[in-house]
Structure 1
Amino acid sequence: MSARSDLTPQMSAYADRFADSGLVRWHPNLIYFHPAKYRSTVVNTDSAGFRYSHRDSTRYSPVDHAGIDSVRLIAGSSTVFGIGASSDAWTLASRMSTHDRREQPWMNFGGRSFNSTQELLLLVLYRHLLPRVDEIVLFSGFNNLGLARMPESRQEEHGTFFMYTRWHEAFDGADRTNKPLLSILRKREPERVEPVVPSLPEQLRYAADLTIRHLDGWRALAADWGAKLTFVLQPLSGWVRPRGTVEEEALFAELDAIGRFSEQYGDILDPDICTEYATLLEDQAKAMGVGFVNMSPILSESLRDDQWLFVDRIHFTDDGHDFVARKLLEVV
C-alpha cells in the first residue's frame, strides 16, 4: 500500500501535468511554465498558465481578475503555486484571501520549480496584466539553495534551473537544423570528469547572493507601484521540527525511496542551516529596505506535535496551507 496514494490522493493530479515527469510546457522566456487553460477538480489555470485563487464565490488570476482595481500578490515557486492543495481554494493565496478581509484579494503568482531568476522574470513579463499591486509577499528561498549544489558546469550566469537536462534534450529535438547553436550548447556540456560540488558554506553564500540580487529587482518594481514588499524564507519540514507527524514520516519515507530527497538534500534540512541562511538573507534584505520573515521558527513555536502540515518536505496539506496563511497574515 502506498502512503502517498492513501494519504494524499490529490498528488496524482500534480504528477500528471505539474511535475517534472508530467507534460512540461516549454516557454521561450521562462524556460517552462504551467499548462494554460488547464481544467481539473484540483488545479485550474488561466490563459497564461497562472493558477486561480478564490475568495468566497469569486476566483482571481493575473489574466482574469474580475475587474478589481488593486490586488495583493503572493509570489514564489511550487509552494506558492500550491502543490499539495486538494483544490485551488486551498492554496496560500486563497486561504490568505479568505482570512484577510481587506478589500484586495491575494493573487497566486507562483511558478512551479522556479528559481529566483524565473520568479522575477514572471513578474517582469506579466506585470502588464495586473491591476495596481498594493502588497507583495515573496515566499521563496529553497530552490536557490537546493540548486546551489549543482556542479559549476551547470551554473549559468543567473543560476541553474530544474529540468536542466530535459530542457537541453527538448531543445535538441525541437530544432535539429540549428547546427551553430546546437554546437554551442554541446560545447558547454561538462567534460567527463568528476563534478566538483561546492561546500555547504559556499552553497549558502551563492544562494543568498543570487536571491538578494533578484530581490533588488522585486524592490524596484514594488517601489514603482508603491507596494509593500516582504521576503518570507519558506519553511522546510526539518527546519520546523526534527520529526514529523505519523502521516508526514510515512510520506517522507516513501518519497525518499522514490526520489532520494534525504540523500540529496538531507544536510540542508538541519535547522542550523536555516538559521545561517536566514541571517545571510535578512541582513541584506533589511539593508535595501525590504521586510524579512523566517517562517520556520514561527511555525515551530505554534505547531502542535500531532498537527499534519506537510505532504512532502516542502509542500503543504490543505490544513497546512490554511495554518501557514493565517500565520503569514500575522507577520507580514
Structure 2
Amino acid sequence: MSIRTELAPYLTGYEEKFTSKGEIRWLPHLLYFHPQSYTSEVVNTDSVGFRYATDGDRSYSVADHGTADSVRLLAGSSTVFGIGASSDAWTLPSRLNVHDEREQTWLNFGGRSFNSTQELLLLTLYRHLLPKVDEIVLFSGFNNLSLARMPQVRNEDHGTFFQYNMYNEKFTAPSESKSGSSVFNLLRKKQESAAPAAPVPPSISEQIEYAAELTLRHLDAWKALASTWDAKITYILQPLSGWVRDKGSKEEELIFDELERLGGFAAMYGDILSKDVNIEYAARLEQGAKDLGINFVNFSPIMAESAEADQWLFIDRIHLTDNGHDFVARKILENI
C-alpha cells in the first residue's frame, strides 16, 4: 500500500472513474466528463455527471437542485470537483454551504482535468439546467499554465487539453483496413523515422503570457454569461503547495516524496512551483481581471499567511485534504 493511500484510503474511490488512468467518459464538445449517476461512499454524480454538494440534510447538483429559486456556482477543475475529499460533504462547495450564512446553495460546477475552454463550455452547454445564479466564483488557473508548455498549443486556437495523446490515439487512429496494409505500414515507418526533433518548450514567461491571455479571453465570456443573471463574479487563482509554503506538513512531505519517486509533479512542472511564477502569473491575471471589471484573488498568499506549519492541507501538490477544503472554503468566504 502506498503512503498516500495509507494516509487517505478513501482515495481509491476516485481511481476507477475519476483519474486519467481509469475509465474515461468521452463526449463531443467537452471531450470528456464525469460518469453519469455514479454512486459511492466517496463520490456521487447526477444524471449529467456533476458532483453533488451537500447543504444541510440534502444534496444538490446542477441537474438536481429541487425547487431552489437561485444558487451560487463554484466553478473550476479537479480541485473544485473535489479530488482528495473523503466524501461529497468535504468538497469546497459543500464546505461553503456549511460556513456561508446566506440562503443560496453553492453548487459544484467543477470538471476534472478541465482547462478554461472546457470550464466555459460547461456553462454554455448546461446553463439551461440552472435556476437564477446569484454568484459565480471561478477557482482555477493551474491547468492553463501547466498545459501552456505543451508543444501542441501552437496548433490550437483554444489551448490544448489533458488526455491529448489518448484522445488522438482513440479517435484519429487509421482504419483497420489501412493499418493492416503493408504500404501503409511502410509509409508510417518512414514518417516516424523522419519525425522532427522535439520542439524547445517556451520560456516560463511565455507560458505565463499564453495561459493568462487564454484565461482572460474566457473570463470575458464568463462575464457576459453572468450578466444575464446579473450575477457577481470573482476569479480566484487557485493555490499550489509550492506557492503556499516551501515545506509542507509531515504528511504532505511524505506524499510528495512518494509521488516524485513515481514520476510526479515536480519532475514535469517543477519550475511552475516557484513563488516567483505565482507572483508574475497573478499580476498578469489581476490586471486583466481589473480591466474586465472582475474581482480577482490570488489565494496562495492568503493561505500562506494563516496556515500552520504542521497543518495538513494538500493531498498532492494541487488537491486538498478534507481539512484543506474546509480551511480554503472559510478563506474564500472571507475574500469574496
Which interval holds the TM-score relative to the shorter structure?
over 0.9
When residues 9 and 253 of structure 1 are mapped into structure 2, their CA distance, relative to the original with a 3 A threshold, is same
When residues 69 and 191 of structure 1 are mapped into structure 2, their CA distance, relative to the original with a 3 A threshold, is farther
Give the conservation status (yes or no) of the 8 Å contact 1:152–1:196. Answer: no
Q: CA deviation at 1:268?
A: 0.6
Q: Moved runs in structure 1, 4+ residues, more than 4 A?
A: 152-155, 173-179
Q: Which stretches in structure 2 are left out of the alignment for 5+ residues?
A: none
Give the conservation status (yes or no) of the 8 Å contact 2:153–2:160. Answer: no
SS of corresponding position for 2:133: strand
Q: CA deviation at 1:175?
A: 7.2
Distance 1:110 1:275 in 2: 25
- Which moved further from structure 2: 100-109 or 149-158? 149-158
Asked whether 1:194 is paired with 2:193, we answer no
Q: CA deviation at 1:166?
A: 0.6
Aligned residue number for residue 289 of structure 1: 293
Distance 2:176 2:17 in 1: 26
Q: CA deviation at 1:152?
A: 4.3
Distance 2:174 2:323 in 1: 42
When residues 153 and 225 of structure 1 are mapped into structure 2, their CA distance, relative to the original with a 3 A threshold, is closer
Map Cα deviations across residues 229-266 of structure 1 (whole Å, 9 max, x no partner): 00000000000000000100000011112233111111
Q: Which stretches in structure 1 are left out of the alignment for 5+ residues?
A: none
When residues 176 and 223 of structure 1 are mapped into structure 2, their CA distance, relative to the original with a 3 A threshold, is farther
When residues 323 and 174 of structure 1 are mapped into structure 2, their CA distance, relative to the original with a 3 A threshold, is farther
SS of corresponding position for 1:225: coil
Name the amino acid aligned to 2:83.
I
Q: CA deviation at 1:56?
A: 1.0
Asked whether 1:72 is paired with 2:72, we answer yes
Q: CA deviation at 1:173?
A: 5.8
Give the conservation status (yes or no) of the 8 Å contact 1:116–1:210. Answer: yes
Q: Give the structure-1-normalised TM-score.
A: 0.94
Distance 2:54 2:273 in 1: 32
Distance 2:44 2:3 in 1: 26
Distance 2:11 2:150 in 1: 27
Aligned residue number for residue 88 of structure 2: 88
Aligned residue number for residue 42 of structure 2: 42
When residues 259 and 35 of structure 1 are mapped into structure 2, their CA distance, relative to the original with a 3 A threshold, is farther
When residues 174 and 84 of structure 1 are mapped into structure 2, their CA distance, relative to the original with a 3 A threshold, is farther
Q: CA deviation at 1:66?
A: 1.5
Distance 2:56 2:89 in 1: 9
Q: What are the residue-to-residue correspondences of 1:137-156 with 2, within 5 Å?
A: 137-152=137-152, 155-156=155-156
Q: What percent identity do the matched residue pairs reach?
A: 62
Distance 1:117 1:56 in 2: 33
Give the conservation status (yes or no) of the 8 Å contact 2:30–2:121. Answer: yes
Give the conservation status (yes or no) of the 8 Å contact 1:84–1:311. Answer: yes
Asked whether 1:317 is paired with 2:317, we answer no
Name the amino acid aligned to 1:81.
F
Distance 2:155 2:18 in 1: 24
SS of corresponding position for 1:315: coil
Asked whether 1:133 is paired with 2:172, we answer no
Asked whether 1:23 is paired with 2:23, we answer yes
Aligned residue number for residue 308 of structure 1: 312
Asked whether 1:13 is paired with 2:17, we answer no
When residues 329 and 175 of structure 1 are mapped into structure 2, their CA distance, relative to the original with a 3 A threshold, is farther
Name the amino acid aligned to 1:135.
E
Distance 1:303 1:115 in 2: 28
Name the amino acid aligned to 1:296.
S
Q: What are the residue-to-residue correspondences of 1:166-185 with 2, within 5 Å?
A: 166-172=166-172
Map Cα deviations across residues 115-172 of structure 1 (whole Å, 9 max, x no partner): 0000000000000000000000000000000000001466411000000011111214
Aligned residue number for residue 211 of structure 2: 207
Q: CA deviation at 1:14?
A: 1.1
Aligned residue number for residue 261 of structure 1: 265
- Which moved further from structure 2: 1-10 or 159-168? 1-10
Q: CA deviation at 1:208?
A: 0.4
Distance 2:210 2:6 in 1: 39
Aligned residue number for residue 303 of structure 2: 299
Aligned residue number for residue 163 of structure 1: 163
Asked whether 1:233 is paired with 2:237, we answer yes
Map Cα deviations across residues 254-291 of structure 1 (whole Å, 9 max, x no partner): 11122331111111101111010000000010111000
Larger Rg over CA atoms: 2
Distance 1:76 1:23 in 2: 21
Distance 2:149 2:129 in 1: 35
Aligned residue number for residue 104 of structure 2: 104
Aligned residue number for residue 276 of structure 1: 280
Give the conservation status (yes or no) of the 8 Å contact 2:153–2:159. Answer: no
SS of corresponding position for 2:121: helix
How large is the Cα RMSD of the aligned pairs? 2.0
**Number of residue equivalences:** 325
Aligned residue number for residue 242 of structure 1: 246
When residues 32 and 225 of structure 1 are mapped into structure 2, their CA distance, relative to the original with a 3 A threshold, is same
Q: Give the structure-2-normalised TM-score.
A: 0.93
